Amino acid sequence: MRVLVVEDDPSLGATLRLGLGAEGFDVEVAASVEEAVTAAERGAFRLALVDVNLPDGSGFALCPRLKDRGMMVVMLTARSDVADRVHGFELGADDYIPKPFAFEELVARMRAVARRPGAEQLPVLSFSDVEVHLERQQALRAGHPLDLTRREYDLLCFFLRNPGRVVTREQILERVWGYDAEVSDGVLDVYISYLRRKLETFGPRIIQTVRGFGYTLRAAEAEDAKA
């Protein structure tokens, strides 16, 4: 099983790489949010161990971005307050292990998470004739590959996980860019436009504008096909 360890302490990162490798895991270590996102874009991982306090952001903000790429996420942190644990679970974390921890327990809980239904294989996200194969990190429309940037891919995955639901601009920015990212509405407009253009090369509009609220993923109707 491929595991992404997101830990900025070099000593602990090296220890986890060696220890988990000896237990049969294929481990890659990232020391920051940026490195973790780059690693997730480059290859498919089944599970991520994520520290909360990272040099360029919060592991809490990283958690939903990794979940959107089909990973199981185990938070690994010295912050063990009930409020922190609840916050992690609300963001989609599959388990929460406080530091210091017993290595044997960590391995056992990782394997328990990996045995849960749905963890055997990375899913395919789909809506209408659009598909995202998380294992290959490939997006298709009507069978045609879509040449998406990392941000466009993350944006499409977010919409595919929320079909028919009206999502606000704030929710999109938080989930796709991160809770602590400083991104203007104008940037979101640009990426929505880019993604729509690529999707609409092979079919009608499915990312619809809900004026005054945000966006929703649904089949186009004749009167709002270009809303």
The H or E element spanning position 208 is strand 207-210
Confidence of residue 44 (pLDDT cuts 50, 70, 90): confident
Distance in angstroms (rounded) separating the CA atoms of residues 105 and 111? 10
Least confident window among 70-84, 100-114, 185-199, 208-222: 70-84
Distance in angstroms (rounded) separating the CA atoms of residues 217 and 202? 16
Does position 56 have pLDDT exceeding 50, yes or no? Answer: yes
Q: Beta-carbon neighbour count of residue 166 at 10 Å? A: 14
Q: Considering the entire predicted model, what is its pTM?
A: 0.60
| Domain range annotation of the chain | 2-114, 124-224
Torsion angle of C-alpha atoms 136, 6, 148, 134, degrees rounded to 10: 30
Q: Give the contacts of 223 (CB within 8 A, at least 6 positions apart).
A: none
Which tens digit of pLDDT belongs to each residue from 111-136?
Answer: 998 887 655 455 688 899 999 987 77
Fold of the domain built from segment(s) 124-224: Arc Repressor Mutant, subunit A (1.10.10)
Q: Which CATH class is domain 2-114?
A: alpha beta
The partner residues of 57 in beta bridges, in order of sequence, read 54
Check if 2-114 and 124-224 are the same fold.
no
Confidence of residue 27 (pLDDT cuts 50, 70, 90): very high
Phi, psi angles (nearest 5°) of residue 36 = -65, -45
